């Protein structure tokens, strides 16, 4: 890390705060509704904090629950069923992205020797929510640098890779 941020540290040492990587509790509930009780947010499903979606999921749950109750349903049970059915796919997609991100960070040591641009590219695309094509639209110059780093690294490791000019 000191090497990556050396330009910013200006010769000062990198200080560590003895942070420990904790085991993240993965919660996946088969049912979110029981009678007239409902689970929202992290009570029903967690998403690893590396993608920063916990609060977003909880707020979207609350909105979906309010919407389900505001629509005309013959019973509370039907409204709660709509909430659960309507939210499940989005929650599971977010959890999958979070799982992929978690695995990336658990094995971050594989990427320590990467060029800083290539490392940053990996961090940004780790959960597959941002793809290479999507990132190219947002930051073409950055992706060009990332592509060059990948091609150089592939060549260093004896991997033949077709790298075209952008």
How far apart, in whole angstroms, are the C-alpha atoms of residue 155 and residue 166?
Answer: 18
Joined tokens for residue 41: 């947010």
- Give this prediction's pTM: 0.69
pLDDT tens-place values along the chain, 166 residues long:
778 878 888 888 877 777 666 677 888 999 999 998 999 998 999 988 888 888 999 999 999 999 999 987 788 999 999 999 999 999 999 999 999 999 998 899 988 888 888 888 888 888 888 888 888 888 888 777 666 655 555 455 554 545 555 4
Distance CA 45, CA 94 (A): 10
81 neighbors 33 (Cβ within 8 angstroms)? yes
Q: Could you tell me the two tokens for 157?
A: 């490791």
Beta carbons of 40 and 65 less than 8 angstroms apart: yes
Q: What residues contact 56, with CB distance under 8 A and at least 6 apart?
A: none
**CB contact set of 166 (below 8 Å; sequence gap of 6+):** 140, 143, 144, 147
Helix (H) or strand (E) holding 34: strand 33-34
Tell the residue number behind the tokens 């594989």, with chain if given: 110
Give the separation between CA 115 and CA 148, rounded to whole angstroms: 10
Q: DSSP for 102-157?
A: HHHHHTGGGGTTS-HHHHHHHHHHTTSSS-HHHHHHH-HHHHHHHHHHHHHHHHHT
């Amino acid at each position: 890390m000191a090497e990556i941020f050396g330009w910013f540290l200006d010769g000062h040492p990198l200080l560590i705060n003895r942070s420990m990587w904790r085991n993240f509790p993965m919660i996946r509930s088969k049912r979110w509704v029981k009678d007239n009780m409902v689970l929202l947010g992290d009570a029903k499903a967690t998403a690893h904090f590396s993608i920063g979606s916990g609060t977003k999921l909880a707020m979207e749950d609350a909105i979906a629950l309010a919407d389900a109750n505001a629509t005309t349903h013959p019973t509370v049970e039907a409204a709660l069923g709509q909430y659960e059915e309507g939210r499940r796919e989005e929650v599971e997609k977010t959890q999958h992205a979070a799982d992929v991100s978690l695995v990336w960070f658990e094995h971050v040591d594989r990427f320590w020797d990467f060029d800083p641009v290539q490392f940053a590219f990996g961090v940004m695309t780790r959960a597959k929510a941002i793809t290479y094509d999507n990132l190219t639209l947002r930051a073409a110059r950055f992706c060009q640098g990332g592509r060059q780093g990948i091609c150089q690294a592939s060549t260093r490791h004896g991997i033949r890779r077709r790298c075209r000019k952008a």
